[in-house]
Each structure stands twice: as structure tokens, then as C-alpha cells.
Amino acid sequence: MAFLVGLGGLYPAGMKERSMAYAPLKEVYKDYFYIGAAVKLGEYNSTPFYQAYGERLLEHFNSFTAENGMKPENIYRDGTYDFTYGDRLVRYAREHGAVVRGHTLVWHNQTSSLIPGKIPKEEAKRLLKEYISTVAGHFRGEIHAWDVVNEAVGDGSQWRTSSPWYQSYGGPEYIREAFEYARMADPDAKLFYNDYNVVQPGKRERIVRMLEELDLVEAGLDGIGIQAHWNLVWPSVDEISRTIETFASMGLEVHITELDIDCYDGNPSTPQMEYTPELEERLSRRYAEIFEVFRQHKGEVTSVTFWGLTDPDSWLNGFSGGRFLKERRENYPLLFDGKGDPKKAFFSIINW
């Protein structure tokens, strides 16, 4: 087989030509919202990210999120800051006319380098202020939207009380402070609260309660990030609509921040499935109905980001239903296959 060598590495001859035959996602949706992808920029030292991702990323996406590169565990160690990954992503985005979603400043996961567990409150307050001022300050003017706080609301109760931030503060005030510090450090970035299961009525209500109780809009919050780790059957399009409308009616922007569709419907024990034409069809219809809802909420949904680019690179090959799998299981959650070719789902969202 003949290959072409391009920015994106090796591609079978013909692929580039074929890729010209359909409209780029970012063009199709330019009057609706940003189209983003989470990228593994710089996370593999031996494989520059553009060998695996560059071509598709630049062709279809105008918003980039670092999948891991801008989380505290990759920025902060022993009191020192390392902005290598974020700087590279910001530079790359600027060179190619894309925006960057900053992900994430305050979280309970992947943060042990910063706050390993419960620490004295005064120390936690000092750290929170220093970390946000330093990081959001470093990227000031370069970040379109920050996920300032990620996953601080509980699944069955109001707060995620196991968070080291919650434990150290002895309450949720760290959330409001985080928005205040982010607003001071980068006055122009849009500031988001980001979470999963936002479409679940109980959690949605708890998020609304948090916004009111902590007066987060006054502290600088601009919008809500709906992660959208969804599946073929959940959530219903009605629930998605209701959720967008709930936040839009409060004057907030809605970003879809981590979209992917688990083809195992959140069941970790289902054996590996082949990507049959039936499954391809179901996935394609699912993406079509979801994007129809997003389009209906033009002006309210202002950014849609996929959590990855190609199926083999998705975290869902190792995670399902809230837990990590013992063995890799091929999942098919995204728009591009392992060769970088668009799947039927891709065509279902560009032709409607």
C-alpha cells in the first residue's frame, strides 16, 4: 500500500484526497458553536502528538483541551510549576487559529501533587490562591474558558465531601474562592463549573443549589460544563434539553466538555463487541439525535468538545460504568476510527 507522509504522519494514499471530499466539522458548525477535542499533546515523550493527531485535529476542530496535560498533577510538583504541556498546546492553538479550554484548576483527582489529602485549612487556602493565581495568571489571555472547578457536587448528597479541598476547608467555600481567584488572574477567560451526570435531575438541582448558595455568578462564573460521558441509551434527548434550558434560563453559557458515547451502555461486564454495521448504525443515530438537540439550543450551547479523537485512543477502552476495567476492551465512542477515517456517526452530524 502506498503512503503519503504529512504533518499527521503516515496515511494510506488516498486518505487526504478523501478527506477533502467532506466539509470539516468546524466549518459545518461555525454558526453554532466551537467544535473541540481533548488531545494528548506532549503526554507521550516518544511520540509527538501531531504524528497521531495533527491532521484530523487541524482539519475539524477549532478548540483544544489538554486531556491530562493541564491538570495539577502535570503542572505542580514539590512547589514548582511546569507549564511545558500547556504552553505547547497554547502555542499550537494560536498558530492554527484554535482556542484552548483550560482543564482543570480545582479537582479531587489527579491533584495529589498539589494537595494529597486533608491539610490544615490555612495551608489549603494559601495553596488554592497560589495555584490558581499562578496557573491562570501564567496563561492569562490565552485561555478561552477555564474549568475552574471540576466535580465538586456529590452524586447522592450536596457536596463531594471526600475531596481534599472540601476536607481541608471543612466545607464548600473553596469553590467560591476558586472562581474569585480565577477571575482576578484572568479577567477575560470564561469561567466554568464542570461535572458529569449534570443531566441527572437530582445532580442538576444540586448544581443549581450550589450556584445560588455560593453566589458563583457574582464570584465570576460564566457557564456550566456538561461533561457528556453518555451512552447509546442514556440520557434521553428530553433530559439533555431540559438541562441546557435550566442553565440557559439562569443566563449561563453551556459547554459540552467531554462528549463520548460508551457503546457498552456503562456495563463493565459486557464482553468485547465487534463494531458491526448494526452498532455503527445505532451510534450514528445516537450522535444525530444528540447534535440535533445541540443545534436547537444555538446561542445557549456555545462549545462542544469530544473527549478524544480516535476510538483506539479513548479512555473508554479501559473504563465503563464508573470503574476501570481489568483488561482493555475495544470501545467505539468517537467519530474517527483507528485509521483516522470518519465513521458513519461523523456523517450523521454533518448532514442533517
Rule CB under 6 A: which residues touch ligand GLA? 103, 150, 196, 227, 258, 315
Nearer to ligand GLA, 68 or 284 (CB): 68
* Three cell numbers, residue 133: 493565581
Catalytic residue (one of 258, 278, 289, 330): 258
- Distance, CA of 307 to CA of 27 (rounded, Å): 20
- Cβ proximity to ligand GLA: between 307 and 346 the closer is 307
| Rounded distance between C-alpha atoms, residue 118 and residue 124, angstroms | 9
Compute the least distance from the CB of residue 164 to ligand GLA, in Å: 16
The separation between the first and the last C-alpha atoms of the chain, rounded to the nearest angstrom, is: 35
C-alpha distances (whole Å) from 77 to each of 125, 171, 174, 252 are 18, 26, 21, 34
CB of 150 to ligand GLA, least distance (A): 5
Q: What is the DSSP string of 14-61?
A: THHHHHTTS--HHHHTTTT-EEEEEE-TTTSTTS-HHHHHHHHHHHH-
User: Is residue 274 flagged as an active site residue?
Assistant: no
Tell me the residue nearest to ligand GLA as measured from the CB.
315
Q: Which is nearer to ligand GLA, 15 or 70 (CB)?
A: 70
Query: Is the CB of residue 264 less than 8 Å from the CB of residue 323?
Result: no
Residue closer to ligand GLA by CB (options 62, 227) is 227
Residues linked to residue 150 through DSSP beta bridges, in sequence order: 194
- Least distance from ligand GLA to the Cβ atom of residue 43, Å: 12
Least distance (Å) from ligand GLA to the CB of residue 74? 11
Q: How far is the CB of 188 from ligand GLA (least distance, A)?
A: 23
Query: What is the four-CA torsion angle of 72, 76, 78, 80, rounded to 10 degrees?
Result: -160
Q: Whole-number minimum distance, CB 191 to ligand GLA, in Å?
A: 16
Q: State the Rg of the chain over Cα.
A: 20
Q: 15 or 178, CB closer to ligand GLA?
A: 178
Considering beta carbons, is residue 19 or 150 the nearer one to ligand GLA? 150
Burial class of residue 309 (count of CB atoms within 10 Å of its CB; 0-12, 13-18, 19+): buried
Question: Phi, psi (5° rounding) for residue 319?
Answer: -150, 140
Q: Rounded to the nearest 5°, which phi and psi values hold at 115?
A: -135, 95
Active-site residue set: 258
